[in-house]
Amino acid sequence: MEFYRGGQEGFTATYDPRHALSFIDIPISHIKPCYVKHSSFHHNLGIAIGVYGTNNLEIQDNVIYHTIGSGMLYSSYRNIFVRVSYAFDYLMQTC
C-alpha cells in the first residue's frame, strides 16, 4: 500500500489526528488482529503513522520517507515494530 501526500500539516493532537494513518482506541486481539505491513509513506504533510490507545498493533516492513514532523507517533503499549525504515533526504545548498 502506498500513502502519498497523506495527513494535514499542523494537526498533531491525539483527539484530532490528521495523519496519513491513525489508530485510535482500537481493540486488537488474536481473534481480530490488525497490522500495517509492506507499505510506503512518502511526501506526507504530517506524521505518517499515529497510534493512540491501541495495543498489540503490528507495524512491519514499512518505509517512511520525507514527512513533515515525526515519522511515527505513538502513546500505546505492547505494539510490535519490525523493520520500519526511515529515509531522509538532505538538501544540499550551493552558494
**90: confidence class by pLDDT, cuts 50, 70, 90:** very low
* pLDDT range class, residue 62, cuts 50, 70, 90: very high
* pLDDT > 80? residue 6: yes
pLDDT digits (tens, 9 = 90+) for 25-48: 998 888 888 999 999 999 998 889
Q: 80: how many CB neighbours lie within 10 A of its CB? A: 10
- In angstroms, how far is the first alpha carbon of the chain from the final one? 40
pLDDT value, residue 88: 59
Where are any strands of DSSP class E within 1-95? Answer: 2-4, 21-24, 35-37, 40-44, 49-52, 58-67, 72-75, 80-87
pLDDT at residue 67 in the model: 86
